[in-house]
Structure 1
């Protein structure tokens, strides 16, 4: 049942678009190309098990954790906006 000007599937379409965007963003951050034996930021040795588990890896665990923490600081805002934020 549609309410206002929204189509019948508008909510589900928004959810699907948000999930699709999230998947595309995650895939774009995956390493690609040849992996490195030493971290490109700190020159620490990247263990062989990590290189096998993540093809194309370029960072050691410590540097990857630091980068993930930096990215998490910016992950809290909703680009599409929630219904509550539109009503304010």
Structure 2
């Protein structure tokens, strides 16, 4: 059956290529290397197990949790939707 200019599965191939490019970009942004022995914010020692598990680690668990919670706080719409304001 004739499909025009695109071959069978061309759309899926394009989607797969886009996803693969995104994964590659994300992997390139990951830190690499041994990481720090002490936290760059509070100077607490970073355990060897954490340094082995998280390549390029720069923060202790407490500082990383604090940073993650600060980022997550900005993701919520605290004003609510129009529907909730009309009630």
Normalization by structure 1: what TM-score?
Answer: 0.51
* Counterparts of 2:58 and 2:6, CA distance in 1: 45
Deviation digits for residues 5-49 of structure 1, max 9, x if unmatched? 654333212321232123212212222233101122443322221
CA contact (8 A) 2:31 2:57 kept: yes
* Counterparts of 2:39 and 2:14, CA distance in 1: 39
Q: How does 1:9-24 map to 2 (within 5 A)?
A: 9-24=9-24
Residue 26 of structure 2 aligns with which residue?
A: 26
CA contact (8 A) 1:35 1:58 kept: yes
Q: SS of the residue aligned with 2:33?
A: coil
Normalization by structure 2: what TM-score?
Answer: 0.52
Runs of 4+ in structure 1 over 4 Å off: 1-7
Unmatched runs of 5 consecutive residues or more in structure 2: 76-87
Residue 59 of structure 1 aligns with which residue?
A: 59
Aligned length: 72
